[in-house]
Chains A and B, each alone.
Chain A
């Protein structure tokens, strides 16, 4: 039984057909990467799986969630509880400390902040950014920001971790570290991992590699 089950997924922006009947299946706890050139539709597919975009046709199930039938509030809850996002741009708010940024999903969701805080501290220690928690995003390096981003994505122990060009803004050394961290944490926690990238160095870490070309997945 697939954890992610996408059938004939289509997406258009105006007259532009970005996704053409994409079929994709991924088991729970697996890790895979979708490669493709810029504009191929890989990020759009990722965002649809994550509930940030709506599909125009087809069906997509993630666990028990039928994304094609959910309303905005249900999708918001799905994004909060079931999905962790790691974006290329870290999307950290400069007006909050790194810890406050990490705690945002918990504050928005049903979990109590103090339940999550100890887990976060442990993760931060594991990723070597414990001393960054009380600082602001602009006070730390790009690699550290991406690790903070990763901790925020994992803070509520989501079933699915979606990464859009997670190493896009990093140097090669940090890219290697972050990619290995993603795989390690995913394996340890049984989180299904789906990464979208055009970076060969990242994709070579994965056993399952898909290719998106002009909105068609192979």
Chain B
């Protein structure tokens, strides 16, 4: 209790004047800005990865299987008895490529043929009936078409087509949805499975199975665990991939960049920590009279160091709290302000959010705290070698 009363006196002595208060405030704001920069960067990287995975997961199930033989029958017995490893539902898809045209505009697209079973892995997805198609918002804007319009799709027919011409189909747009990933929004179209099977002449075969896992297995680590189990079951029959596999390299790059950038941004925190150092040196010079007198009447060097360590801890705590507020503000701005919208054709996503993991917060807290206190300790260790008597005479003369 007495020590805390001493801290109060210490603050009274050292921060009573306006310039010291101002310097302390500037130190806190500077340190909080630098901490918030590193936190925001880490949070943005994580937020990007999280949003990317969420967007990829929408309507795709957690696991994708493709056969090494190409096409396969959808009702074969390979996929029964998978409930034990967490597979809740299965939907079969026919995936192929096509060229979509309307009036004078055209675009290469991926066509996914789906049936009613698809609603088991994507509850609210509008399932197209025969003659219908569901397209993405970016594609509709690019081709200038809207709901109810007709879209022509051309499929390669090989030698089966008349004079080797492609098979063409005209489908009515049932719905326009906004896929969160720009690529999907611009390139993916969903048609009725029977229509697609007919267009490419594969009878009742499919080439993709999408698996939905139960709700307890939605984290990337758990999904990867199920993927490994399925790979051991379907070693030679099916290629088993998690839903993010198409973007796996990209997501790994983001993760790697996160750590590289955080190392570089640590320099920003270090520079801000030197503000604390400047503040100690400034206070020491400005309050030399008070310091020498306190030493003369019984303040021990150890206690003096402890007072400064406490003082700096308080400055660090305030800075960190302010930094977290800055992060919240920046997160809001990223989610809502137009100037922070991403070019989705480059980044796949139009918006990202700041998703800060507790682990990252604790690491930044620990590093900044340790660095500031180490600097403080070093500076105080090298206080003036001047004797007390000399210091008193000089300061009070």
B299 at the interface (CB under 8 A from A): yes
Q: Using a Cβ–Cβ cut-off of 8 Å, how many residues does chain A contribute to the interface with B? A: 27
Q: How far is the CA of A87 from the CA of B12 in the complex (A)?
A: 24
Q: Mark A41-65, 1 if CB is under 8 A from B, else 0.
A: 0011001000011100000000000
- Which residues of A approach B to under 8 Å, CB–CB? 43-44, 47, 52-54, 72-73, 76-77, 79-81, 85, 87, 89, 91, 93, 95-96, 104-105, 107-109, 113, 152
CA distance A95 to B296 in the complex (A): 18
Q: Which of A80, A95, A109: most chain B CB closer than 10 A?
A: A95
| 0/1 string, B1-43, CB within 8 A of A gives 1 | 0100110010011001100000000000000000000000000
- For the complex, is B301 an interface residue (Cβ under 8 Å from A)? yes
Check B294 for interface membership: any CB of A closer than 8 A.
yes
Q: Which residue of A lies closest to B17 (CB)?
A: A95
Query: With a CB–CB cut-off of 8 A, which chain B residues contact A95?
Result: 12-13, 16-17, 290
A108 to B307, CA, bound (A): 12
- Does more than half of chain A's interface fall in helix, strand or loop, or is it mixed? helix
Most buried by A among B298, B392, B397: B298
Q: Give the complex CA separation of A77 and B303 in angstroms.
A: 11
B298 touches A109 (CB 8 A): yes
Contact B13 A108 (CB under 8 A): no
Q: How far is the CA of A44 from the CA of B289 in the complex (A)?
A: 20
Whether B389 sits at the interface, judged by CB under 8 Å, is yes
A152→B13 CA distance, assembly (Å)? 17
Which residues of the other chain, B, contact A54 by a CB distance below 8 angstroms? 387
Q: Which of B13, B296, B300 contacts A85 (CB 8 A)?
A: B296
Most chain-B CB neighbours within 10 Å: which of A52, A53, A72, A77?
A52
Instruction: Give Cα A152 to B298, complex, Å.
Output: 12
Can you list 23 A-B contacts with CB-CB less than 8 angstroms, sorted by A residue number?
A43-B389, A44-B389, A53-B388, A76-B295, A76-B298, A77-B300, A79-B296, A85-B296, A89-B396, A91-B296, A93-B293, A95-B290, A96-B12, A104-B297, A105-B297, A105-B298, A107-B6, A108-B6, A108-B297, A108-B298, A108-B299, A108-B303, A113-B5
